[in-house]
Chains A and B, each alone.
Chain A
Amino acid sequence: MSDDLNDLKNLMDAATPAPNAAARAKNIALAQKNFETLQGSRNGARLTSDRPNKGFISGVKNMLNQMTSRAGLTASTALIAVGLVAFTPIGEGLLNPGDFWETNVTSAVQENATGGSVSAGNADITLGGYAEFGIGYSEDRSADEVEIYNFRLRNPAPIERDLGLPGSTRGRDSSRPFADEMLAQSDLALGNAADQAAAAPQTLSRRALSESIALGAIVAEEAPALTPRFDQDFDTINPSDPNTETFANEKPNPVKITTETPVSTFSIDMDTASYAVIRNSLTNGQMPNPSAVRIEEMVNYFTYDYPAPTEGNAFQPTVSVTQTPWNADTQLVQIGLQGAVPDVADRPPLNLVFLIDTSGSMSSANKLPLLKQSFALMLAQLRPEDQVAIVTYAGSAGQVLAPTPAGDRSTILAALNNLGAGGATAGQAGLQQAYATAAAMAKEGDVNRVILATDGDFNVGLNDPEALKTYIADKRNSGTYLSVLGFGRGNLDDATMQALAQNGNGTAAYIDTLSEAQKVLVDQLTGALFPIANDVKIQVEFNPAQISEYRLIGYETRALRREDFNNNKVDAGDIGAGHQVTALYEVTPVGSPAELNDALRYGDAAAPAAGASDELAFLRLRYKAPGEATSQLIETPITATDASDAGFAAAMAGFGHLLRDSTYVGDWSYTDAIALANATRGSDPFGYRAEAIQLLRLAQSLSR
C-alpha cells in the first residue's frame, strides 16, 4: 500500500466512529430474531391437491393472478375475439350463425393442436347466454408459454369430446374424469379469483422471505406477521432464552470404610422436585442435567408397602436387606419411615398464604396459568374454616387477597384469575410480606404455612441461596412452615428452591403438569400441609464385623455431621401426615469380592461389641413432635433376617445412578432397570410406577 493511501487510511480510521452500542444490540437482536423466524418458516408451502403450474384450473388461477387486472384480461380477450371475427375463417363461420359448433370450434381446436402456438379465442359478444369458461395451461413449467383456449359450450357433451384434444397433448388418456373435474372446479377458479387476489400479497411476501430476494424484505415489524410462529412452551428448546437453571446437588456419596467411619448421619428429605424435573426433561426429549438428579427424591416420589405406625407413634421405621440388583456381591439396606395418618376429620384449621411469583418470567403457559389451575384444584380440598391469603411479588410485593375464609371460593378464585405476569422478581420482599401476613393470621392451634410458587428466579433483593437460608431459618422459628412449588423450565432455580424448603421447614415439589399438581396438592394435601414430626434425623451405625464398606445412596444435600444427631438445635427435614421416606444403603459384607478398599497392613479396627455380632447395623432415629424443642429417640437393629426381594425403590435408585452416570452400577443398564421396575411394579393405583417405567424407556432411547 502506497504512502498516500496509508495517510488516507489513517485519516479514514480516525473519521470512522464506533458503532452505537444500543443500535448494535438492537441490530444483532433483530438479526437473531429473523434467524429464528426463518428456522421456523422453512416448511414448504402448504400442500394442495393441485399440481403447481400444471393443469387447466391452476393455469386459469395463475393467469388471473398474473394479469395486472381483470379489465385488462377482458379487454385483450375482446380484442382478439374481434380480430378473429373480422379476419379469420372462424369469424366468417361465426357471423353466419348456422351449425357453428360442429364445423368451426372443432376445426379451430384441431388447428390449434396441429398448428401449435397460436391462441384461439372466441367472442362472447355475439353469442351471449352460453356457459363460458377459459382454460389456460402450460405445457411445461415456464409460464410464458401459457396458451389460452376459450371454448364456448352449448352442453357438457361437446366439452368431453373437444377437450380430448388438448388433453391428449398433455398425455392424459382419460378425458372423462378430467372434464368432470374441470366442470366442478370451473366456478371455483373464477369465483375464488377475488380471494386469490387477496391472498396474492401474502404469497409474494412469503416468497420474498424464503428466497430473500430483497434486502429490506424482512424488517422487524413485518416478520412476525408473515410467518407462522410455533411458540411452544418448551423453554428448554427455545434457543433465544439463555438457560439459567441451577440445581442443588453434591457429588455422589463415596464408599465409606466401616472401620474408619462406622456412623452415617443424615436428615430425611420429603421433596420430590427432582423426579418431576427429570420427568419434564425426559418428556421434552432431553436427558436431564445430571446435577438435577437427586436419587433420594426419585425414590421418595413413590410410596411403598410399609406397615402403618402403631397407635401413639408418629411414625414406624421399617428396615429390610435385599440383594443389590447391579452388584451380586453387595446388599441394599432399605430404611423406610411411614408417617402416621392422623384423623383428617379433626385436623386443625389451616392458614395458608399463597406467595405467588408474578414476575415476567412466569408468563409462559406452564408457569402462572398452570399455577392458577393447581391452586384452584387445591382450593376444593380446603374447609370453610381454613383461611387463604394471596401475596404476589414481581418488581415489588403486594397483598392481592386479604385473609379470606376458604369457603368464599369465588372471591379467592377471582383474585387468582386476576394475576398477571410482568416485571422483575423481588423474592425477598415477597417472602417478608408473606411471613408478615401469616403471622397476622396465626391463631392458637392453627397450622400456618406459606406456599411459595415460583420458577425460582429471585433477582431482586436477597438472591444468594446462603443469604436466603439465613433469612428463612430465622422465620422458621416463628412456627410458620414453608412449601415451595417450582414451575416451568429455563430459569428454574432449583438451588434457591431447595435452600428455601430445607431451611424453612418445608418441602419442595416441582409442578410440571396438572397431574403432578393433583398428586402434590390434592392427593397428598394432608401430608404436604400437616407435619407430624419435625427435624427427623437418621443415624446408622454399621457393624464392622459384618459390613466392611457402605455407601449412602442419595441424600448428598442432606448430610449431617455425626455430632449433630443429638443436637436439638440443628435443623433437619420434617415428615408430613401419612408421608413415607425411604433411604437406601449399598453395603458390602466382610469378605465379599466387591470390597473396593484393601485391608490395612498395619492398623486394625477395634473389636466389635460383644453379643451384637449378627447385627448388620444399628438404626437410630430422632424426631421432634411439632412445636416441641426436644427430640425423641427410636432405635432398631438391622439384621440379615430382614431380607426381602429388591423392590421398586432399588429400581428407582438404579435409574438415578444411570442418570448420574454413576460408576457404581457397572454394566447394569436401562434394560435391567426396566426389567426390575416391571417385575416389582406391584399395585399401582395411580399409575405413577407405570409412568416411571415409561421414563426409563425414554431415557434408554435418549441415552443411545
Chain B
Amino acid sequence: MRHTLVMLMSTSDNNLALAAAGGDAAAFSALLERHYDRLFRLCFRLTGAQAEAEDLTQDICAALPAKLQHYRGEAAITTWLYRVAVNAAHDRRRRQASHQKAATGWGDWEINRQAANAEAAEAVDWLTQAMRALPADLRDTLALVLDDVTHREAGEILGVSEGTISWRISEAKKQLAQMRQTEETQ
C-alpha cells in the first residue's frame, strides 16, 4: 500500500482523479492529501471564519467521493475542485439563510446565540470582515482570484464569462476601498 502511494505521488493530479473516480482508494487518498490545504484555504476565503471553513471543508470531503465519480477529466482537477467548493459554499449560505429566517424571533436563546456569533465575527480582522460584507458573487470571485486563479478559469468555475470576472474584481476593489474609507473616517 505504502509502495503504491509513493508511486502515485509522481502521477499527475488529473490521472489521480480519474483513477479515484474509477474507485482507486489509494489514488483518492493521495489526491485529497495533496489538495486538502488548498481546499481549506479557499473555504476560509469563501466563508471568512475558521470554524465555518472547517465545517465547509468537512461537507466537501464528505460528499467528494460521490461527486468524484462523475469527474470525467474535462476540466483540470483543481478547477473542478474549486467549482465543487464554490457550489458547496453557495449551498451552505442558502441553508444558513433559510435557517436564520426560520430562527428569527425564536426567543432569548436564539438571540443570545446570534449575539455570540456576532461577537465572534467582530473578532476577525478587518479584511475578512470586509470580505463578508461583500455580496456573495463578488466574494466568491475575489476569493478565487486571490488564490491565483486566472480570470478565465474563475469564469469557468463560476459559470460566467471572463469579462464578468474582471468587472466583478474591479467592483469588489471599489467596494473594499469604500469600506476602508468609511472605516478610516470613523
A interface list, Cβ under 8 A from B? 1, 4-5, 8-9, 11-12, 15-20, 23-24, 26-28, 30-32, 34-39, 42, 209-210, 212, 214-220, 239-240, 242-243
Contact residue among B25, B50, B58, B142 (Cβ-Cβ distance under 8 Å from A39):
B25
Nearest B residue to A31 via CB reads B61
Question: Are A27 and B44 interface neighbours, CB within 8 A?
Answer: no
User: Which of A27, A32, A42, A240 has the most chain B CB atoms closer than 10 A to its own CB?
Assistant: A27
A-B contact pairs, 10 of them (CB 8 A): A5-B145, A8-B146, A24-B36, A31-B61, A34-B66, A35-B20, A39-B25, A215-B63, A216-B62, A217-B66
Contact residue among A4, A5, A15, A31 (Cβ-Cβ distance under 8 Å from B32):
A31
In angstroms, how far is the closest chain A Cβ from the Cβ of B46?
11
B interface list, Cβ under 8 A from A? 1-2, 20, 23, 25-26, 28-29, 32-33, 36-37, 40-41, 44-45, 50, 54, 57-70, 87-88, 91-92, 124-125, 127-128, 142, 145-146, 169, 173, 176-177
Question: Are B63 and A212 interface neighbours, CB within 8 A?
Answer: yes
Question: Are B40 and A218 interface neighbours, CB within 8 A?
Answer: no
Nearest B residue to A220 via CB reads B62
Write out the residue numbers on chain B whose beta carbons fall within 8 Å of the beta carbon of A17. Answer: 44, 50
In the bound complex, CA of A185 to CA of B63 (Å): 40
Given contacts A8-B146, A19-B54, A38-B65, 20 further A-B contacts (CB under 8 A): A5-B145, A5-B169, A15-B124, A19-B36, A23-B57, A23-B58, A24-B36, A28-B32, A31-B61, A32-B29, A35-B65, A38-B69, A39-B23, A212-B66, A212-B67, A212-B69, A214-B63, A215-B87, A216-B91, A217-B63
In the bound complex, CA of A27 to CA of B88 (Å): 15
Nearest A residue to B176 via CB reads A8
In the bound complex, CA of A25 to CA of B28 (Å): 14
In angstroms, how far is the closest chain A Cβ from the Cβ of B140?
14
Contact residue among A5, A27, A242 (Cβ-Cβ distance under 8 Å from B61):
A27
Write out the residue numbers on chain B whose beta carbons fall within 8 Å of the beta carbon of A20. Answer: 50, 54
In angstroms, how far is the closest chain A Cβ from the Cβ of B58?
5
In the bound complex, CA of A243 to CA of B3 (Å): 10
Write out the residue numbers on chain B whose beta carbons fall within 8 Å of the beta carbon of A1. Answer: 145
In the bound complex, CA of A36 to CA of B25 (Å): 7
Main secondary structure of the interface of A (DSSP, over half): helix
Question: Are B64 and A31 interface neighbours, CB within 8 A?
Answer: yes
In the bound complex, CA of A18 to CA of B43 (Å): 12
Question: Are A215 and B26 interface neighbours, CB within 8 A?
Answer: no
Question: Are A31 and B65 interface neighbours, CB within 8 A?
Answer: yes
Question: Are A12 and B66 interface neighbours, CB within 8 A?
Answer: no
Contact residue among A5, A30, A35 (Cβ-Cβ distance under 8 Å from B28):
A35
Main secondary structure of the interface of B (DSSP, over half): helix
Contact residue among A15, A212, A219 (Cβ-Cβ distance under 8 Å from B125):
A15
Given contacts A16-B44, A38-B65, A212-B66, are A27 and B58 in contact (CB under 8 A)?
A: yes
Write out the residue numbers on chain B whose beta carbons fall within 8 Å of the beta carbon of A5. Answer: 145-146, 169, 173
Write out the residue numbers on chain B whose beta carbons fall within 8 Å of the beta carbon of A32. Answer: 25, 28-29, 32
Write out the residue numbers on chain A whose beta carbons fall within 8 Å of the beta carbon of B29. Answer: 28, 32
In angstroms, how far is the closest chain B Cβ from the Cβ of A313?
50
Contact residue among B25, B61, B69 (Cβ-Cβ distance under 8 Å from A28):
B61
In the bound complex, CA of A641 to CA of B62 (Å): 73
In the bound complex, CA of A87 to CA of B29 (Å): 67
Nearest B residue to A210 via CB reads B66
In the bound complex, CA of A216 to CA of B36 (Å): 18
Contact residue among B63, B124, B177 (Cβ-Cβ distance under 8 Å from A216):
B63
In the bound complex, CA of A23 to CA of B23 (Å): 25
In the bound complex, CA of A51 to CA of B164 (Å): 48
In angstroms, how far is the closest chain A Cβ from the Cβ of B142?
8
Question: Are A30 and B54 interface neighbours, CB within 8 A?
Answer: no
In the bound complex, CA of A31 to CA of B40 (Å): 14
In the bound complex, CA of A23 to CA of B125 (Å): 23
Contact residue among A26, A27, A217, A240 (Cβ-Cβ distance under 8 Å from B25):
A240
In angstroms, how far is the closest chain A Cβ from the Cβ of B179?
12
Write out the residue numbers on chain A whose beta carbons fall within 8 Å of the beta carbon of B91. Answer: 214-216
Contact residue among A18, A209, A239 (Cβ-Cβ distance under 8 Å from B26):
A239
Contact residue among A8, A18, A23, A216 (Cβ-Cβ distance under 8 Å from B59):
A216
In the bound complex, CA of A239 to CA of B46 (Å): 34
Write out the residue numbers on chain A whose beta carbons fall within 8 Å of the beta carbon of B128. Answer: 15
Question: Are B173 and A4 interface neighbours, CB within 8 A?
Answer: yes
Nearest A residue to B66 via CB reads A212
Write out the residue numbers on chain A whose beta carbons fall within 8 Å of the beta carbon of B60. Answer: 215
User: Which of A9, A12, A39 has the most chain B CB atoms closer than 10 A to its own CB?
Assistant: A12
Question: Are A38 and B40 interface neighbours, CB within 8 A?
Answer: no
In angstroms, how far is the closest chain A Cβ from the Cβ of B42?
9
Question: Are A219 and B62 interface neighbours, CB within 8 A?
Answer: yes
Contact residue among B45, B88, B145 (Cβ-Cβ distance under 8 Å from A215):
B88
Question: Are A12 and B127 interface neighbours, CB within 8 A?
Answer: yes
User: Which of B57, B142, B169 has the most chain A CB atoms closer than 10 A to its own CB?
Assistant: B57
In the bound complex, CA of A35 to CA of B68 (Å): 9
In the bound complex, CA of A212 to CA of B63 (Å): 7
Given contacts A31-B62, A215-B59, A239-B26, are A19 and B32 in contact (CB under 8 A)?
A: no
Question: Are B62 and A34 interface neighbours, CB within 8 A?
Answer: yes
User: Which of A18, A20, A35 has the most chain B CB atoms closer than 10 A to its own CB?
Assistant: A35
User: Which of A19, A42, A214 has the most chain B CB atoms closer than 10 A to its own CB?
Assistant: A19
Write out the residue numbers on chain A whose beta carbons fall within 8 Å of the beta carbon of B69. Answer: 38, 212
Question: Are B44 and A218 interface neighbours, CB within 8 A?
Answer: no
Given contacts A12-B45, A35-B25, are A28 and B63 in contact (CB under 8 A)?
A: no
Question: Are A16 and B41 interface neighbours, CB within 8 A?
Answer: yes
